[in-house]
């Protein structure tokens, strides 16, 4: 009967940009799982009915992102067997998407360094939720004034990092003219207690007047210097060696000639 079925354990929520996956253990054998999403003010929603998997995409059941939910993982027998008994189930920790989903990486659309100004334009991560016109909502559409972005930037090959914050989608910062800079962008929700900082965008670098020494540093300079010294040394030593060999050859020829004459 149902009493003997294992209950789900290690139930976890995994959510990035409001795409939310529920995971648990163990893998079922001879029975299935059904997921029920319970909200404080919303109706119970059933997902992944009679699944043999140990994860379930529950994004669609969490559309009210400010609602607090719990998941009931039911252990159930195959459909053809007696299912009038209430199945055993395990309950997850509470989950509020608005407070707990992780902010994904912003996308750098373009950037430029003009003189002493570094300009960076970026784009919000998208969520799985859509507007009535069919376009996807961005995290900015959902978080609105609660979301801000921070640009971290530093002089190329330097460890001194600076930052600036904005609620728009572009940065303009003052930098040293003619010097290359690297940077990344990160979403932040200051009002949160956990998951305040989002994932960092790809690190990019400008290339104003970049040359081989900028790219590879002093190592290349040392290698080039060693090669130059070797070439100069060879240019000096080789003629001397050839000259000595030529003189030795002449002296040997003279001695051989004298010996022949003596005979």
Q: Tell me which residue has tokens 């859509």.
A: 130
Q: Is the pTM of this model over 0.85?
A: no
Q: Name the residue with higher pLDDT: 79 or 228.
A: 228
| Cα 103 from Cα 147, distance rounded (Å) | 10
Could you read off the pLDDT of 160-192 as tens digits, one per residue? 889 999 999 999 999 999 899 999 999 999 999
Q: What is the pLDDT of residue 8?
A: 95
61 vs 38: CA distance, rounded Å:
9
Q: What is the pLDDT of residue 142?
A: 95
| Domain map (residue ranges) of the chain | 9-99, 107-207
Nearest to residue 175, comparing CAs of 149, 155, 160?
155
3-state secondary structure 77-116: CCCCCCCCCCCCEEECCCECHHHHCECCCCEEEEEEEECC
What's 125's DSSP letter?
A: P
CATH superfamily of 107-207: Immunoglobulins (2.60.40.10)
User: Residue 121: what pLDDT?
Assistant: 96
Query: Band of the pLDDT at 220, cuts 50, 70, 90?
Result: low
Handedness of CA 216, 217, 222, 227 (dihedral sign): positive
What digits encode the pLDDT tens for the residues 98-121? 999 999 999 999 999 998 999 999
| 133 Cβ contact list (under 8 Å, min separation 6) | none
pLDDT at residue number 263: 54
Q: For position 214, what pLDDT does the model report?
A: 47
* Alpha-carbon separation of residue 71 from 5, 32, 34, 57, 94 (angstroms): 18, 16, 10, 12, 8
Is residue 242 helix, strand or coil? helix
Whether the domain at 9-99 and the domain at 107-207 fall into the same CATH topology: yes
Asked if residue 217 has pLDDT above 90, the reply is no
pLDDT(66) > 70:
yes
pLDDT at residue 226 in the model: 74
- C-beta of residue 94 within 8 angstroms of C-beta of residue 70: yes
Topology given in CATH for the domain delimited by 9-99: Immunoglobulin-like (2.60.40)
Note the pLDDT of residue 118. Answer: 94
**Cα gap 207→210, rounded to integer Å:** 5
């Amino acid at each position: 009967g149902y009493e003997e079925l294992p209950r789900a354990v290690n139930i976890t929520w995994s959510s990035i940009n409001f795409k939310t996956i529920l995971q648990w253990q163990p893998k079922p054998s001879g029975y299935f799982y059904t997921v029920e999403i319970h909200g404080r003010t919303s109706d119970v929603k059933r997902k992944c009915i009679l699944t043999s998997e140990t994860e379930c995409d529950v994004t669609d059941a969490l559309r009210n992102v400010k609602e607090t939910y719990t998941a009931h993982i039911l252990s159930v027998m195959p459909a053809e067997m007696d299912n009038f008994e209430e199945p055993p189930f395990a309950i997850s920790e509470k989950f509020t998407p608005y407070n707990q989903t992780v902010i994904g990486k912003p996308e750098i659309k373009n950037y430029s360094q003009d003189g002493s100004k570094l300009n960076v334009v970026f784009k919000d991560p998208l969520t799985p939720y859509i507007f009535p016109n069919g376009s996807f909502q961005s995290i900015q559409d959902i978080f609105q004034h609660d979301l801000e972005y921070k640009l971290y930037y530093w002089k190329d090959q330097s460890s001194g990092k600076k930052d600036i914050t904005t609620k728009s989608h572009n940065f303009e910062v003052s930098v040293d003219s003619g010097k290359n800079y690297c940077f990344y962008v990160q979403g932040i929700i200051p009002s949160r207690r956990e998951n305040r900082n989002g994932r960092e965008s790809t690190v990019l670098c400008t290339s104003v007047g970049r040359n081989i020494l900028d790219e590879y540093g002093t190592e290349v300079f040392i290698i080039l210097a060693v090669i130059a010294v070797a070439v100069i040394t060879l240019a000096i030593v080789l003629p001397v060696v050839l000259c000595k060999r030529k003189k030795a050859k002449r002296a040997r020829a003279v001695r051989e000639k004298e010996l022949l004459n003596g005979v």
